[in-house]
Copies of this chain bind each other. A is one copy, B any other.
Amino acid sequence: MIASRRSLVLCAVLVVSSCTAQAPQEASAPPPAESRVAVSTAAALPSWNDGKTRAALVSFVQGVTAEGKDTFVPASDRIAVFDNDGTLWTEQPMYFQLAFALDRVKALAPSHPEWKSTQPFKGVLEGDMKAVLAGGERSVAALMAATHAGMTTEDFSTAVAAWVKTARHPRFNRPYTELVYQPMLEVLAYLRSNGFKTYIVSGGGADFMRVFAEQVYGIPPEQVIGSRIKVQYTVRDGKAELFRLPEIEFVDDKEGKPIGINAAIGRRPIMAFGNSDGDFQMLEWTTSGQGPRFGLIVHHTDAEREWAYDRDSHIGQLSRGLDEAQARGWTVVDMKNDWNAIYPVPKP
């Protein structure tokens, strides 16, 4: 570790590991313990620039895994929860699940001639998003009902899987599932390699995300918590199915996030990652438990490589989180300066 103002600042934010500014080592000398930790961290989180954000993350993980220390947390309690839209993958220019709904309207249109003259479907088919959005939440509900209900759970999964394979993001012309944040993929893997169980806790639909979460994030379906529509138990031709109804059962947003986590997991996580005020209560609940706690907000500050937005955005609005993060001890990622990569390298 090089003795510089930067490393002193880094030391100051390291709560647990004791590190002292050191002169550069001789090439032949064995690296000191601190240096070895830094190397292994850089290896685990290569897309994170050296700085206080990465240091805070690493320091926390080192603390909860340090057996015998006050900060130690048994593996069974190492639960980390991640918002999805804007935290694990991009959410601009619209939630990807809404893009799925729009594409599905187009796919289903031949069986629905009435959509040519009925909003919001007419707007979708004519590419007139203003007309679609003019109907507000009611339009979105109509779109969701037409595209997310009226089929079995298994048929819905099949439809999502087909869309994921073929759809492309309008700005980057890549599959949506490639627009996941490389630095966050590294955090997920880093936490799991340190005994954490990682969960998605998203306002998006649980059954939508479950189709790709294992392949994309290494998170199995049973560790995906999200919004849900009602399903009905039906038996057809002697075969039992769950049929999706056009009715919201649970909205996993704001207060809904801690409530959804409690219903699914039954205990309070020790780490929470979000990006918008919809994640505020999840961060608040997670970080007001006893023992070591960690909250992190991804601040979208990079208009060039991704998007820059916060207080005035209609998607992923972040205002209270920015105001209170410091006082609450939450870490804020400055995407532009903390991340040296945004997305994984495209597959050839």
List chain A positions with a Cβ less than 8 A from chain B. 76, 153, 197, 206-207, 210, 214, 220-222, 224, 228, 231, 233, 235, 238-240, 242, 255, 258-259, 262-267, 281, 284-285, 288
- Asked whether B258 lies within 8 Å of A240 as measured between CB atoms, the reply is yes
Give the chain B neighbours of A197 by CB distance below 8 A.
222
Give the chain B neighbours of A153 by CB distance below 8 A.
262
How far apart sit A255 and B235, CA to CA, in the bound complex (Å)? Answer: 11
- Asked whether A233 lies within 8 Å of B207 as measured between CB atoms, the reply is no
How far apart sit A224 and B262, CA to CA, in the bound complex (Å)? Answer: 12
- Asked whether A258 lies within 8 Å of B242 as measured between CB atoms, the reply is yes
Task: Give min CB distance, A323 to chain B, whole Å.
Answer: 15
Q: A242-B259, A258-B242, A259-B242 are in contact. Are A235 and B266 (CB under 8 A)?
A: no
Give the chain B neighbours of A285 by CB distance below 8 A.
233, 240, 242
A-B contact pairs, 15 of them (CB 8 A): A153-B262, A206-B263, A206-B266, A207-B266, A221-B265, A221-B267, A222-B266, A228-B263, A233-B285, A238-B288, A240-B284, A240-B285, A240-B288, A242-B259, A242-B285
Task: Give min CB distance, A294 to chain B, whole Å.
Answer: 15
- Asked whether A265 lies within 8 Å of B222 as measured between CB atoms, the reply is yes
Most buried by B among A206, A231, A242, A266: A266
- Asked whether B264 lies within 8 Å of A222 as measured between CB atoms, the reply is yes
| Shortest beta-carbon contacts, A-B, top 7 | A221-B266, A233-B255, A240-B285, A210-B266, A222-B265, A240-B288, A239-B288
Chain B: which residue is nearest A284 at the CB level?
A: B240
